[in-house]
Amino acid sequence: MSDDALREETLATPEGEARVVRQGAHVVHWRPRDAEPALFLSPRTARIAGRAIRGGVPIVFPWFGPRADDPAAPAHGFARILPWRVVAAADGTRALVLESDAATRAAWPHDFALRYEVALQPRALSLTLEVSNLSTAPFAFEAALHTYLRVGDAPAARLTGLEGHAYLDKTDGDRVSRLGDVPFILDGEVDRVFPGARGSCVVHDPVLGRRLVVDKTGSATTVVWNPGPARAAALADLGPDAWRDMVCVETANTGDDRVTLAPGARHRMSATLRCE
């Protein structure tokens, strides 16, 4: 992989700016007009070929988390660590493509094409991942837009939109529980998978005086993650205090919500991030 794949490309309009890295088609920065940056990027993350970037919006595909039948496989799949190809570019948009090849088939034996569209909108960022099945047989996949939202102080933030939903608690052996009818408090380590959660979520941030809204389509799972102080300290590319500056609200299809595509079929999953 060349160093060009790690170079940031800037998208800019009067509505704001974003930056994208071709490795992983990774959005590493988004700042709406007259606002502070809305995405968290770890100051400790490395820019190394084949290593995931910590923060921004990593793309998860074709599996979520560790691969069940191969613990040595890269966590969250290979899409976030491979170079994508830019196929369309304008001041406020980019379209990037990743296609199967011998290396991807060695890790996951299917032919596919991914197209990712990034577009600046008024006080919003639109992200759309399209998966096409180029194989002669159906395949199932998991995917996520692993969005790191920047907050002033995570314990002071509140998350709404998931009230009453059941979730799998990854910090407690996938124990099934259910949120009450009150906002979600983001204090300490949180790793919860909400199957069947198709609606929007809102992060209320009193410290920065704003709301960050995650609208989505084509997604049946929402994942909420914050490493908390102990886990953050154990991650060399994050650091002990960074957990306060972020919360991940992920647009996903994972677990029982994984997508099965027939030959020739396509699936589109979109997230629109809005700053209010």
Instruction: Report the pLDDT value the prediction gives residue 71, as an integer from 0 to 100.
Output: 83
pLDDT tens figures, 29-41: 999 999 999 999 9
57 vs 38, 40, 52, CA distance in Å? 11, 9, 11
CA angle 215, 42, 152 (to 5 degrees): 60
Q: Provide the pLDDT confidence category of residue 247 given band limits of 50, 70 and 90.
A: very high
Domains in the chain: how many in total?
1
Stretch among 35-39, 87-91, 218-222, 261-265 having the lowest mean pLDDT: 87-91
pLDDT the model gives residue 2:
54
Rounded Cα distance, 84 and 130, in Å: 14
Length of the chain: 276
> pLDDT digit string (tens) for 121-138?
999 999 999 999 999 999
From CA 175, how far away is CA 208, in angstroms rounded? 33
**pLDDT at position 20:** 97
Cα–Cα distances (Å) from 269 to 109, 127, 228, in that order, read: 22, 8, 28
267 included as an active-site residue: no
Which CATH number belongs to the domain containing residue 31 in this structure? 2.70.98.10
Half-sphere exposure of 252 (CA within 13 A, CB side): 32
Mean pLDDT of 106-116: 97
Query: Of residues 26, 29, 110, 146, which has the active-site annotation?
Result: 146
User: Catalytic pick from 15, 26, 250, 276?
Assistant: 250
Residue 26 DSSP class: E
146 is annotated as an active-site residue? yes
Domain that holds residue 32: 3-275
Torsion of CA 196, 69, 55, 127, to 10 degrees: -50
